[in-house]
């Protein structure tokens, strides 16, 4: 089989890229390791920047989001028992974010690819990339025990943190930067109305907590936890008690609890691999970088990578020029590092760091007090939260 762009990974990065390329008349084939049901069952991000919302409209997958997504004009930060509002819209000249689950974005993208006869091959094994430093790269894989070869002009590595693409760049070329945080997030999804119509980020002595949501009857809550925690030791009752103990009293009193429909622990890390390209291979999304979820940047960064990468492919197939392809890594990395800084800063601001006691705690407290007292500080937070321009 032959295609123009072989896309490894059928998560949001890979599907969005294939949808954009299709609309510009560029062929692609998506190879996905898992089944479609598995991909659609993953509970992940939920806050979309305006840039991603606009992209989804442009590529004709925005209809359901328009109907079911919730526009949020701000969020709260709770500190020392009091909630402080960050008015995103007032601070950014009218911008906002959209609450619409990554699961739904992925479902909409799959549906669009199906309607346009896009080729997404799922449940593939042993994906391997070959001759990436030549003009004739190819990909081999197995499907149902049979071996296949996919010839292409380019390979887009959209296969997440544990994929094969990043590891296909020789180690003497690839540089990795990483910070692992000494805690994780224990998350619960429940079919209960959210405690607030907007997100609440809670800083407390017992640790961070986040009150988030997917829709009017689907709430997503998180508490910071030790990396040694076992999710099986967390009954629903224990989770709700722990969450309530970290919220302001009036908020805890109005929290509606119910049985969890998903419960998991995710570690927090910041990670960037450089460069994002090697020969005919281009990395995008979690294959190249990971942010801690504080600040809701993971999915949004994947989308901005795909914006730059798709522009580069469109230039190449439209004009034969490789200018944007050769600049892709530098261009995308500039925005990636800014989102890294922002997610790291929000993580440091809101979590309890056991080693911080003393000076570190006072710095954190002062940083928060400064934020609540300074419009300039809030503006900086707001412009990063709604998303820096592409």
Ligand X SMILES: Cc1cc2nc3c(=O)[nH]c(=O)nc-3n(C[C@H](O)[C@H](O)[C@H](O)COP(=O)(O)OP(=O)(O)OC[C@H]3O[C@@H](n4cnc5c(N)ncnc54)[C@H](O)[C@@H]3O)c2cc1C
297 labelled catalytic: yes
- Is 152 an interacting residue with respect to ligand X (CB under 6 A)? no
Sketch the per residue contact string, 76 through 105, with ligand X: x for CB under 6 A, - otherwise.
--------------------------x---
Query: What sign does the dihedral 100-11-34-111 (CA atoms) show?
Result: positive
170 labelled catalytic: no
CA distance 365 to 288: 33
- Is 297 an interacting residue with respect to ligand X (CB under 6 A)? yes
* Residue 121 Cα distances to 6, 37, 104, 150, 345, angstroms: 11, 13, 20, 12, 39
Picking from 41, 19, 39, the residue whose alpha carbon sits closest to that of residue 114 is 19
Binding span for ligand X by CB under 6 A among 8-16, 170-178, 310-318, 352-360: 8-16
- Is 286 an interacting residue with respect to ligand X (CB under 6 A)? yes
Residue 87 phi, psi dihedral angles, 5° rounding: -90, 90
- Is 194 an interacting residue with respect to ligand X (CB under 6 A)? no
Binding span for ligand X by CB under 6 A among 40-48, 73-81, 189-197, 308-316: 40-48
Query: What is the per-residue DSSP string for 257-311?
Result: ---EEEEEEEEEEEEEEE-SEETTEEE-GGGTEE--STTS-HHHHHHHHHHHHHH
- Is 303 an interacting residue with respect to ligand X (CB under 6 A)? no
- Is 44 an interacting residue with respect to ligand X (CB under 6 A)? yes
Catalytic residue among 137, 293, 324, 351: 293
Q: Which of 51, 163, 194, 207 binds ligand X (CB under 6 A)?
A: 163
Least distance (Å) from ligand X to the CB of residue 321?
27
CA angle 194, 197, 199 (to 5 degrees): 80
Q: Indicate the residue among 230 and 237 with the shorter CB distance to ligand X.
A: 230
Catalytic residue among 100, 141, 181, 385: 385
- Is 213 an interacting residue with respect to ligand X (CB under 6 A)? no
Q: Which of 159, 198, 242, 274 binds ligand X (CB under 6 A)?
A: 159
CA distance 285 to 290: 8
CA angle 53, 59, 63 (to 5 degrees): 60
CA angle 240, 244, 245 (to 5 degrees): 120
The residue ranges that bind ligand X (CB under 6 A) are: 8-14, 31-34, 39, 44-46, 102, 124, 127, 158-160, 162-164, 266, 285-286, 293, 296-299, 302
Catalytic positions, please? 72, 201, 293, 297, 385
């Amino acid at each position: 089989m032959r295609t123009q762009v072989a896309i490894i990974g059928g998560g949001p990065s890979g599907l969005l890229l294939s949808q954009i390329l299709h609309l510009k008349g560029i062929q692609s084939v998506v190879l996905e390791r898992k089944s479609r049901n598995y991909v659609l069952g993953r509970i992940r991000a939920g806050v979309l920047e305006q840039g991603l919302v606009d992209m989804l409209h442009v590529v004709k997958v925005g209809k359901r989001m328009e109907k079911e997504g919730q526009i949020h004009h701000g969020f709260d930060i709770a500190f020392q028992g009091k909630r402080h509002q960050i008015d995103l819209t007032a601070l950014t000249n009218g911008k906002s974010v959209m609450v619409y689950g990554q699961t739904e974005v992925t479902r909409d993208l799959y549906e669009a690819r199906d309607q346009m006869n896009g080729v997404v091959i799922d449940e593939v094994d042993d994906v391997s990339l070959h001759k990436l430093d030549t003009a004739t790269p190819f990909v081999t894989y197995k499907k149902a025990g049979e071996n296949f070869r996919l010839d292409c002009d380019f390979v887009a590595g959209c296969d997440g943190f544990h994929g094969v693409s990043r590891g296909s760049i020789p180690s003497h070329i690839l540089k990795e930067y990483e910070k692992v945080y000494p805690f994780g997030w224990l998350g619960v999804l429940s079919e209960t109305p959210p405690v607030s119509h907007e997100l609440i980020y809670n800083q407390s002595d017992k640790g961070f907590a986040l009150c988030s949501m997917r829709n009017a009857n689907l709430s997503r809550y998180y508490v910071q936890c030790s990396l040694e925690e076992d999710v099986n030791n967390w009954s629903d009752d224990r989770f709700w008690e722990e969450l309530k103990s970290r919220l302001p009293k009036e908020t805890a009193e109005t929290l509606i609890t119910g049985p969890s429909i998903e419960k998991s622990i995710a570690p927090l890390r910041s990670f960037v691999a450089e460069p994002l390209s090697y020969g005919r291979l281009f990395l995008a999304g979690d294959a190249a970088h990971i942010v801690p979820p504080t600040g809701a940047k993971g999915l949004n960064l994947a989308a901005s990578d795909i914006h730059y990468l798709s522009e580069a492919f469109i230039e190449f197939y439209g004009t034969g020029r490789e200018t944007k392809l050769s600049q892709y890594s530098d261009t995308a990395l500039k925005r990636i590092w800014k989102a890294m800084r922002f997610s790291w800063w929000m993580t440091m601001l809101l979590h309890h760091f056991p080693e911080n006691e003393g000076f570190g705690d006072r710095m954190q407290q002062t940083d928060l007090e400064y934020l609540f007292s300074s419009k300039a500080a809030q503006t900086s937070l707001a412009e990063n939260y709604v998303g820096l321009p592409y």
